[in-house]
Amino acid sequence: MEKDRESSGQISIDFLIGISLFLLTLVFLVQFIPTVFVSFGSESIDLSSVAYRTSVILVEDPGCWNNSATLRTESDWENHVDRTTRVGLAIDKDHPNILNLSKIEAFSNTTALNDSMLINCTTLYRIIGGNRITYNFNITIAYLNGTVIVARGDKLPQSGDAARIERLVLVKQNYPFRGYDADTLSGNTTRSSALFNVTSTYALNNTLYFNLTNFNITGTDPRYNATYIGNSTSGNSVSGNWTHLDHPDNGTANLTSYTDCANSTDCFTQFTTSSVPINTTVNITDRTDELLVTINNTSWSELFVNTSIDSEVYVEIEFINISIASSGNNPYPGSYTSSYYRLIPARVVVEVW
């Protein structure tokens, strides 16, 4: 009997059952234990996704508002903030990361676009169990030199989970310039200077913008030479009260020149002089080069502070080796208005907690 008990297979079956139960339990624990800690590790991942999603909406989408008249959504939400459904800052869907300055200005208007509306229009919230939970945020847009264009939201807390997304963008700034065909300008043909007459009231209260293109080049080394302002048609002569814009009392006169550009949309090469003489030479190498001259109204007020102003005042833009078509003067503004722009690098920072 003792021998039969020792040779039985009862012990082996118990062992197999036991080890099987142990392995099943182990597999269950391996599958179950990680899920216990998911709620503790998901928050930072969620914050990062929210910050990224918000940055995409802001810099890659132009936004939209509901047009009840056409039953369509339109992208110019900055003109209809009260009906905005999505806040985006891109100029359009085809040009992500290029921001519209008008949209940025509307974004900065906390009265028209309060924080509650901004949260709704950028989906800075989540729904959990039927309850709405909003995120705290800080959104800052600044030029690369550190100048802040707009900052919205709260100050980032000293402690706690937070996510930060930074995007490099370009901000499009439009400049309204009055356009002139340089090949048909009137002025002093001997001195190759174009003469423009402006009403004194307009000159004293507005910045003057000149865009000249299609130059009639007549010699080697063609270039813009200088700009003068005065109160007669004599054009930089002793008999007229003419002053070169390097006069210390003329306030600020700005010169911006775009060169080697076939059309306005290609004009991104420029230099600017500010609060210094506006007689910096600008080379004109091709008929299609574009010269943009800006004269601040402060130049006029300082110039004529002790002199009576006629009903019209004058601007003279002088060239070298560029022909002026005829004698006389040209009315300001010009025959057409062009919209020129600069793309300025900036940084968008989205922080969520």
Query: Got the DSSP string for 21-81?
Result: HHHHHHHHHHHHHHHHTHHHHHHHHHHHHHHHHHHHHHHH--EEEEETTTTEEES-GGG-G
**Averaging pLDDT over each range in 27-41, 68-82, 249-263, which range is the top one?**
68-82
- The DSSP call for residue 266 is G
> If you average pLDDT over residues 46-63, what whole number do you get?
95
Q: What is the pLDDT of residue 238?
A: 31
Read off the pLDDT band of 26 (50, 70, 90): confident
In a domain, 212, yes or no: yes
Answer yes or no: do 138 and 211 share one domain: no
**Would you tell me how many other CB atoms lie within 10 Å of the CB of residue 146?**
7
Q: What is the pLDDT of residue 312?
A: 80
Percent of all residues in the chain with a pLDDT value above 90, rounded to a whole number: 36
Spatial CB neighbours of 321, under 8 Å, sequence gap ≥ 6: 192, 217, 218, 219, 220, 221, 222, 223
Answer yes or no: do 263 and 122 share one domain: no
Q: How far apart are CA 171 and CA 143, in angstroms?
A: 9
The residue ranking higher by pLDDT, 192 or 291, is 192
Are residues 184 and 194 in contact, defined by beta-carbon separation less than 8 angstroms?
no
Nearest to 145 by CA among 349, 350, 345, 341: 345
Lowest mean pLDDT among 19-28, 143-152, 300-309: 300-309
Q: What is the pLDDT of residue 278?
A: 44
In a domain, 15, yes or no: no
Q: What is the pLDDT of residue 318?
A: 83
Answer yes or no: do 200 and 131 share one domain: no
Compute the Cα dihedral for 2, 6, 8, 10 and give only its sign: positive
Q: What is the pLDDT of residue 273?
A: 31
Going by DSSP bridges, is the β-strand pair 163-181/98-100 parallel, antiparallel, or unpaired? parallel
Answer yes or no: do 323 and 206 share one domain: yes
For residues 97-107, b (16+ Cβ closer than 10 Å) or e, as one string?
A: ebbbbebbebb
Answer yes or no: do 217 and 160 share one domain: no
* Domain extent at residue 234: 176-341
Q: How far apart are CA 4 and CA 22, in angstroms?
A: 30
**Residues 10, 16, 17: CA angle, nearest 5 degrees:** 90
Lowest mean pLDDT among 156-165, 169-178, 261-270: 261-270
- The DSSP call for residue 164 is E
Please state whether the predicted TM-score (pTM) of the whole model is above 0.75.
Answer: no
**Would you tell me how many other CB atoms lie within 10 Å of the CB of residue 250?**
22
Q: 115 by DSSP, 3-state: which?
A: helix
Bridge partners of 167, per DSSP, are: 348
Answer yes or no: do 326 and 184 share one domain: yes
Q: How far apart are CA 48 and CA 163, in angstroms?
A: 5
In a domain, 325, yes or no: yes
In a domain, 20, yes or no: no
In a domain, 60, yes or no: yes
Q: Phi then psi for 223, rounded to 5 degrees?
A: -165, 160
Q: How far apart are CA 290 and CA 175, in angstroms?
A: 14
- The DSSP call for residue 147 is -
**Averaging pLDDT over each range in 90-99, 125-134, 247-256, which range is the top one?**
90-99
In a domain, 97, yes or no: yes
Q: How far apart are CA 133 and CA 115, in angstroms?
A: 14
- Cα-trace Rg, the chain: 34
Percent of all residues in the chain with a pLDDT value above 70, rounded to a whole number: 72
Structural domains in the chain (count): 2
Answer yes or no: do 53 and 147 share one domain: yes
Q: What is the pLDDT of residue 63?
A: 96
The residue ranking higher by pLDDT, 6 or 159, is 159
Read off the pLDDT band of 338 (50, 70, 90): low
Q: How far is CA 330 from the centre of its chain?
A: 34
> If you average pLDDT over residues 269-293, what whole number do you get?
55
Average pLDDT, the chain: 77
Answer yes or no: do 137 and 245 share one domain: no
**Averaging pLDDT over each range in 14-23, 146-155, 261-270, 288-297, which range is the top one?**
146-155
Answer yes or no: do 149 and 247 share one domain: no
Q: How far apart are CA 247 and CA 230, in angstroms?
A: 12
Q: What is the pLDDT of residue 305?
A: 53
Answer yes or no: do 327 and 253 share one domain: yes
In a domain, 23, yes or no: no
In a domain, 26, yes or no: no
Answer yes or no: do 201 and 276 share one domain: yes
310-334: per-residue pLDDT in tens? 678 888 888 889 999 999 889 888 7
Q: What is the pLDDT of residue 314?
A: 83
Read off the pLDDT band of 265 (50, 70, 90): very low
**Averaging pLDDT over each range in 88-102, 293-307, 326-340, which range is the top one?**
88-102
Answer yes or no: do 283 and 300 share one domain: yes
**Would you tell me how many other CB atoms lie within 10 Å of the CB of residue 328?**
14
